[in-house]
Amino acid sequence: MKRLSNYILMLLVTVGLLVGCAGNENSSQPEENKNEDHTKTDETQVQEGTTYPLTVEDSAGNKVFLEEDPERIVSLIPSNTEIVFAVGAGEQVVGVSDHDNYPEQVKEINKVGGMQMNTEKVLSLKPDLVLAHGSSAHNSQAAIDQISNAGISVYVVKNASDFKGVYETIQSIGKLVDEQKKAESIVAGMKKKLKGIKEKASEIKDPKSVFVEVSPAPEIYTTGTGTFMNQMLQAINAENAAVNQQGWVKMNEEAIINLQPDVIITTYGYYTEKPVEKVLSREGWEQVPAIEKKQVYDVHSDLVTRAGPRLIEGVERLAEAVYPETFGDE
């Protein structure tokens, strides 16, 4: 149980990257619909390359100065790392968090801590740039200050709460590491895929009700309104069974059974054995449509919680699980 509690604590932070607060104005669906496809990606508006010295403002309002293209980068969260590698600056990464697992190369890179940063380790790597994150920077402000006081540039990446925010995150990191064109290309590709998914999903006449489990029994957590997962379900024309809940919430089994979801999605198969089988075998759930019709599927958490280039792959996996007849043969 202690190990499970640690996993749930880690999930609170990880899922928090894409959940956003229930009252976050950027998390509202109308705002998402208006803005998600309008991040600038026109190559005529993109500089040929980053001009150094460079001074930019991070998501915490700090002025960050880079004398030149950073040759040594430390990333404090997996989503930042994935973006740096995706835009083509992976060879410059010298330190990553304990939770980094993608791409494969990160397993051989120095680890600098997990929930708590190993400040001395970070300093010993002599980075030119440290990429922190808005979801956790406030909890490690003393460590960030220590690193900054050592003359190292620290950039706090935005805690994205919608697709638009993810696009902006990729673009901002691309600018920092002089890979703007690659970043724009990635964003354009993500938008194109998401648009295709939405167009195909719009043809679905009978939307299914979906309950998402982001942690297993006995402490079952789900994502309600005002969360990124809710937006993902809307993107594939599915109904969030927990839409009357706000944010990331714990629910008891009786309340979940009363929702009568058509599909149940678990996202914890990477640390729990046979998650689908365990859900299907729950006593008292026999009359739940998802159980009765065996519509329970596991989607890897990394694909639907990391604000990076693989996020649209997560939407695709959700679509394939919920609507295999529409998306399964792609």
The CA radius of gyration of the chain, in Å to the nearest whole number, is: 20
CB 319 within 8 A of CB 312: no
DSSP conformation letters of 82-134: HHHHHTT-GGGEEEE-TT---SGGGGGSEE-BSSSB-HHHHHHT--SEEEEET
Q: What does the DSSP 8-state code read for residue 207?
A: P
What is the Cα–Cα distance from 271 to 276, expressed in whole angstroms?
Answer: 13
What are the pLDDT digits (tens) for 12-21?
545 444 544 3
Three-state DSSP at 142 gives helix
Predicted local confidence at residue 32, as pLDDT: 41
Domains of the chain: 2-33+203-327 (3.40.50.1980), 40-194 (3.40.50.1980)
- Residues 94-123: tens digit of each pLDDT: 999 999 999 999 999 999 998 789 999 999
Helix (H) or strand (E) holding 265: strand 263-266
Measured CA distances, 152 to 145, 182, 218 (Å): 10, 25, 44
Residues in the chain: 330
Q: Which two tokens stand for residue 134?
A: 């808005």
Quick: pLDDT tens for 212-241: 999 999 999 999 998 889 999 999 999 999
Instruction: State the amino acid at position 113 in one-letter form.
Output: G
* pLDDT averaged over every residue in the chain: 88
Residue 10: per-residue pLDDT: 52
- Each residue of 22-42: pLDDT tens digit? 333 333 333 344 445 544 444
Would you place residue 329 in the very low, low, confident or very high pLDDT band (cuts 50, 70, 90)?
A: low
